[in-house]
């Protein structure tokens, strides 16, 4: 690979909106085993500053995985290589996501490192009021094909 071969992906982006429903939260709780009252006990949460149940923070990362997967698929189609998640850095959950909120997730490739064969992307998630609820830095690793 040359620097130009992965730098051309800087600026690539995707976004989507989704209303976070009760079925999302309960499916995620069932898969992970995280049945904390914050997520599944409406009466308990009415007595907190949130006033209602909140979605799992890790569920938002699951939505980020959808976006990074879309980007990886776009890139992988034009390279003779696999594109995999290397990790997330600087993840912050800046506001709660209540059940019924509609989130908009935006993912944008912001830089490339040819020497490390990595692409870096910014993830931003906002709610229906435009309030930022999650931010993260995502890293994609380019794995050359065998041979």
Q: What CATH number should be reported for the domain holding residue 25?
A: 3.10.129.10
Tokens 């776009």 belong to residue: 74
Task: State residue 147's pLDDT score.
Answer: 58
DSSP, collapsed to helix, strand or coil, labels residue 44 as helix
CA distance 29 to 13: 29
Domain count, the chain: 1
46 lies in which domain range? 3-144
8 A C-beta contact, residue 56 and residue 29: yes
Residue of 35, 109, 24 whose CA lies nearest to 75: 109
Q: How many CB atoms lie within 10 A of CB 106?
A: 15
Q: 46 has which bridge partners?
A: none
Four-point Cα dihedral 68, 71, 76, 82, nearest 10: -10
State pTM to two decimals: 0.91
* Model confidence pLDDT, tens digit, residues 99-132: 999 999 999 999 999 999 999 999 999 999 999 9
Q: Is the confidence at residue 59, as pLDDT, over 80? A: yes
The rounded Cα 91 to chain-centroid distance in angstroms is 10
Residue of 86, 70, 81 whose CA lies nearest to 143: 81
* Model confidence pLDDT, tens digit, residues 4-37: 589 999 999 999 999 999 999 999 999 999 999 9
């Amino acid at each position: 690979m040359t620097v130009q071969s992965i730098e051309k992906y800087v600026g690539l982006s995707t976004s989507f909106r989704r209303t976070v429903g009760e079925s999302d939260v309960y499916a995620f709780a069932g898969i992970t085993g995280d049945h904390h009252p914050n997520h599944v006990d409406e009466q308990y949460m009415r007595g907190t500053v949130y006033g209602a149940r909140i979605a799992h923070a890790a569920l938002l990362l699951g939505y980020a995985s959808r976006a990074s997967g879309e980007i990886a698929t776009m890139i992988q189609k034009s390279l003779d290589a696999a594109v995999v998640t290397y990790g997330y850095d600087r993840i912050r959950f800046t506001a709660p996501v209540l059940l019924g909120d509609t989130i908009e997730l935006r993912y944008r490739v912001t830089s490339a490192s040819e020497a490390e064969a990595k692409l870096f992307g910014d993830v931003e998630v906002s709610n229906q009021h435009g309030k930022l609820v999650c931010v993260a830095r995502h890293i994609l690793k380019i794995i050359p094909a065998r041979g």
